[in-house]
Structure 1
Amino acid sequence: MTDKTSPTTFADLGLIPTLVERLEELEYSQPTPIQSHTIPYLLEGRDLVGGANTGSGKTAAFSLPILQKIYQQDKPNSRRGNTVSHLILVPTRELASQVAYNVKSYSYHLRNEIKTVAVFGGVSVNPQMLALRGGSDIVVATPGRLLDLVSSNAIKLDQVQTLVLDEADRMLSLGFTEELNNILALLPEKKQTLLFSATFPEKVTTLAQHLLNEPVEVQLQSAEASTLVQRVFSVNKGQKTAVLAHLIKQHQWRQALIFVNAKNSCNHLAQKLSKRGITAEVFHGDKGQGARTRVLEGFKSGDIQVLIATDIAARGLDIEKLPVVINFDLPRSPADYMHRIGRSGRAGEVGLGLSLIDYDDYHHFKVIEKKNKFCLEREQVAGFEVDDDQSEAYFAPMKPRAKPAGMGKKKRNQ
């Protein structure tokens, strides 16, 4: 970890008074650690890899220096054609919308009408093409829609001064490799490149080094400093829904975000909870963008109490004071586990990340623990204790499997 300074105010970071004033209005009392350790370097124009827990203020960390750079340019209104000066790439539509909203909020008092545009799929492309006319200062984009707009000549990337990969571990994963490579080929060689994420697997860190020029590395992930409590409950196979309904009713959480792994699982679980007197909305990729936006806004406002979602809700979304996240299904990726539970316990608020595991989940949860370097006590819910014939599998050390009688060494692995 590189330590630049330990400022106590945003002014100490070198931010201009206009931005500091806006942050005070937004009740940002002092910089978070990721902001303190990165903003001075970013104002110097350095490339940077920034890792910090979810809810730690990464969006402000990378967007405030960009806004100041635009504000201080000699020709702040020099937008032309359909170019863009600063590009922020994100993996999901919802995160694109949220980041653009935050950037516009931070720039509220800046003169010269800094132009920020969000572009993402799932909605008509025509309004986005119109918004890009005349050039843009900042574009927040998902890769697929950005490439569609490039192919339609609605945007050019040859004037980009800053590239940000938000949720960089996801952006550098196999699912985005081809699209990201196509975008990188359209960008100028000389630019400032920033990578921010809550998790940086080793393979991603190695790949990232090829994208950056002598980057500063700031890694501030800290389980000890987190306000998020993690718990795991062992349950009998087939009893997860009953346990989930019991916990929701028992604790009377103001809101709960429940993660499953498949789109059809969202609807199926919502139906089963409904039979137990619990109303839940669903959030997944098969819903139209308008419906997704309405559901997310309803959950953020508190009108929706229980939301069942796939991993499209796992990254970057800021749900204020969300009391609990529940893994009904364990995520396939250990990194996604941290992103999921990070929807709770944000910005210093106390939160709870709760996982339900049955016999089939036991070994995978051990992998999640190992990869994320933690170990949790296996708890049980009163009234739903694990059957005696399964308890050893949950709690006892693994025993070596006995050899079948009459089989020699050469066949023991068959």
Structure 2
Amino acid sequence: MPRFKTSDVVDSETQQCTFADLSLSAPLLQALQEMGCEHPSPVQLRTIPQALAGGDVIVQAKSGTGKTIAFCSVVLEGVNTSSSGTSQAIVLAPTREIAMQIADELRRLGWYMVPVLDVACFIGGVPVEEDEERLESKGAPHIAVGTPGRMLKLLREGSLLTDARFLVLDEADKLLDTNFRQDITAITELVFTKSLQFLAVSATFPPPLVALAEDLFVHVEKKRATRGQPVMRDLPNKVFLCTSAVKKDKDGLNIIDGGGEEPGDVVETALLKGVLHLRYVLQGYHVRQKVPALLEVLTTAAYQQAFVFVGDSNNAIQIAELLNQAGVPAAASTGKLDQAWRTQAFAGLKRFQYRVLVCTDLMARGIDAEKVDVVVNLDLPVEKETYLHRSGRTARFGSVGWMVSLVFEGDEAEHLHFFQMQLGFELAEYADREAAIQSRLEALSLPQDALGPSQIDVEQFPQQPFPTPGAPSSTGRLSTMEFLISHHCKYAC
């Protein structure tokens, strides 16, 4: 847990409340206590009681503010571990890494449940025969977590039996988008019951996708209803604590009222208060020309772990290996890598076995790594929502961090300015970062040591190169200067 917390996760209302006030069971409270969770965050305080009361719930809240614990707590309170043979909850995520993370969180939170809680994760990239064998030998888990394609296959062939009380969509706007929508609808039809409770959560929820979420169960119920039978399902309750973009008046000024459930409700932008946004402007045209600047950021700044986002899978792998050669332990994760490499990189991130993850937007959403305090955009994303999700990989659960975008003069710099106008964040120059960091910490009423690693953290920094696909087996390293000289013609010209 962070040493200091911003108002994204702490306010006067949450400070007066504990998880024990939310009518949670003793086993869950014990697990929360051991995880260091005493006071609920705003999204947990508003979501858990409403969901426990029944009815569908759609949640939009900032990245890293506790949405996963919120929906996991609700699901665990509704699961009966004395019953076996069918899955009582289906939890879907758009990427394998998010699914694995949710499964781990459910196991941690359900550690003290009696009888023992069974959680299984079903994802692509793993031979489907392994999943089928697991289900045949052990039966359906109490909670099945997975990606849509694999879950749909197991449901259709009858390997995964369900009597579901919950259907959860994490990163729901992504799951309801074009790529996944057909699978999500098919899964809903297969597991639907009158008593099924629907939970959909995300940091970004554009209005058209909110409407799709509202219509999903109504559509399925109409399809399954007998002719002429009315559909009585109520619309989902909404817990909207942020918005994906700031509204502006005719003069281009930000409007504080973001459109809450009631007139006058204040809904903040989804940007985390603890993230400082920086830009590093260069001349050039090819991403390789940004590598020296990337090395400057990663070898001179004070940080524990960093995400570096690129737009191309091949570049991610190459840059990770170049960083390892330069003495910066790094790993790569992209959709083109096989699952064994992706799992190894994901586990290494969580275990602090390297300092920099070079990745595509596969890792932009949902990933929680508490030591990440820097995010670097080597390539800018196309959409502002992706920029929001990338920035949410740092400053998790009320901590502070910074995000630096390496941009070329011209179109890229203008694109970053567009994000700034749409999302309403302040943007400082990387060269002025020390003053900008000091100013931000003062504005947040946080001490100057709230950002950056402690001396104990520095002593625990990984030193060895992390395995990279296609990299030579030699562990020899170059100094940063040798690296820049040896790659100058290829990467800096």
- Shorter-normalised TM-score: what interval? 0.7 to 0.9
* Match in the other structure for 2:412: 361
**CA shift for structure 1 position 219:** 1.5
CA–CA distance in 2 between the matches of 1:347 and 1:294?
Answer: 25
**What per-residue deviation string (whole Å, max 9, x for no partner) do you get for residues 58-115 of structure 1?**
11101112111124xxxx52323xx321111100111111100110111111112222
* Match in the other structure for 1:405: none
Q: 2:206 aligns with which of 195, 201, 207?
A: 201
Aligned CA-pair RMSD: 2.1
CA–CA distance in 2 between the matches of 1:141 and 1:274?
Answer: 32
**Counterparts of 1:216-231 in structure 2 under 5 Å?**
216-221=237-242, 222=268, 226-231=273-278
**How many aligned residue pairs are there?**
370
**CA shift for structure 1 position 275:** 6.5
Change (3 A) 1:36 1:273: same
SS at match of 2:142: strand
**Counterparts of 1:25-40 in structure 2 under 5 Å?**
25-40=34-49
CA–CA distance in 2 between the matches of 1:141 and 1:237?
Answer: 42
Change (3 A) 1:8 1:277: same
Structure 2 stretches of 5 or more lacking a match?
1-12, 218-233, 243-267, 433-493
- State the one-letter code of the partner of 1:188: F
Change (3 A) 1:161 1:115: same
* Match in the other structure for 1:64: 73
Change (3 A) 1:272 1:214: same
Q: Bigger CA drift: 186-195 or 359-368?
A: 359-368
Change (3 A) 1:154 1:180: same
1:187 aligns with 2:191: yes
CA–CA distance in 2 between the matches of 1:164 and 1:110?
Answer: 21
- State the one-letter code of the partner of 1:361: E
CA–CA distance in 2 between the matches of 1:281 and 1:113?
Answer: 35
* Match in the other structure for 2:279: 232
1:131 aligns with 2:181: no
**What per-residue deviation string (whole Å, max 9, x for no partner) do you get for residues 187-241 of structure 1?**
2242110110111112212212213532211112345762222222222224422
1:283 aligns with 2:333: yes
CA–CA distance in 1 between the matches of 2:381 and 2:361?
Answer: 8
Q: Bigger CA drift: 262-271 or 200-209?
A: 262-271
Change (3 A) 1:176 1:370: farther
- State the one-letter code of the partner of 1:161: R
CA–CA distance in 2 between the matches of 1:377 and 1:27?
Answer: 33
**What per-residue deviation string (whole Å, max 9, x for no partner) do you get for residues 312-333 of structure 1?**
1111111112110111101122
SS at match of 2:190: coil
CA–CA distance in 2 between the matches of 1:109 and 1:375?
Answer: 42
**CA shift for structure 1 position 252:** 4.4
Change (3 A) 1:225 1:282: closer
* Match in the other structure for 1:211: 216
CA–CA distance in 2 between the matches of 1:88 and 1:261?
Answer: 29
CA–CA distance in 2 between the matches of 1:301 and 1:274?
Answer: 18
CA–CA distance in 2 between the matches of 1:298 and 1:136?
Answer: 27
Q: 2:146 aligns with which of 141, 144, 147?
A: 141
SS at match of 2:372: coil
1:346 aligns with 2:396: yes
Q: 2:156 aligns with which of 141, 151, 154?
A: 151
Are the aligned partners of 2:330 and 2:355 in contact in 1 as well (CA < 8 Å)?
A: yes
- Calculate the TM-score normalised by the size of structure 1: 0.84
**CA shift for structure 1 position 272:** 5.0
SS at match of 1:337: helix
- State the one-letter code of the partner of 1:114: L
Change (3 A) 1:117 1:272: closer
**CA shift for structure 1 position 278:** 4.2
**CA shift for structure 1 position 12:** 0.7
* Match in the other structure for 1:48: 57
**CA shift for structure 1 position 271:** 5.0
CA–CA distance in 2 between the matches of 1:16 and 1:296?
Answer: 32
Are the aligned partners of 1:117 and 1:132 in contact in 2 as well (CA < 8 Å)?
A: no
**What per-residue deviation string (whole Å, max 9, x for no partner) do you get for residues 169-203 of structure 1?**
11111111221122122122421101101111122
* Match in the other structure for 2:99: 96
CA–CA distance in 1 between the matches of 2:29 and 2:380?
Answer: 41
**What per-residue deviation string (whole Å, max 9, x for no partner) do you get for residues 370-393 of structure 1?**
44x2143352548xxxxxxxxxxx
1:327 aligns with 2:377: yes
**CA shift for structure 1 position 20:** 1.0
* Match in the other structure for 1:261: 311
1:318 aligns with 2:394: no
SS at match of 1:66: helix
**CA shift for structure 1 position 136:** 2.3
- State the one-letter code of the partner of 1:120: I
Are the aligned partners of 1:88 and 1:138 in contact in 2 as well (CA < 8 Å)?
A: yes
- State the one-letter code of the partner of 2:281: S
* Match in the other structure for 1:408: none
1:160 aligns with 2:164: yes
**What per-residue deviation string (whole Å, max 9, x for no partner) do you get for residues 244-295 of structure 1?**
1111122143322100111112123335546655453211112221111111
- Calculate the TM-score normalised by the size of structure 2: 0.71
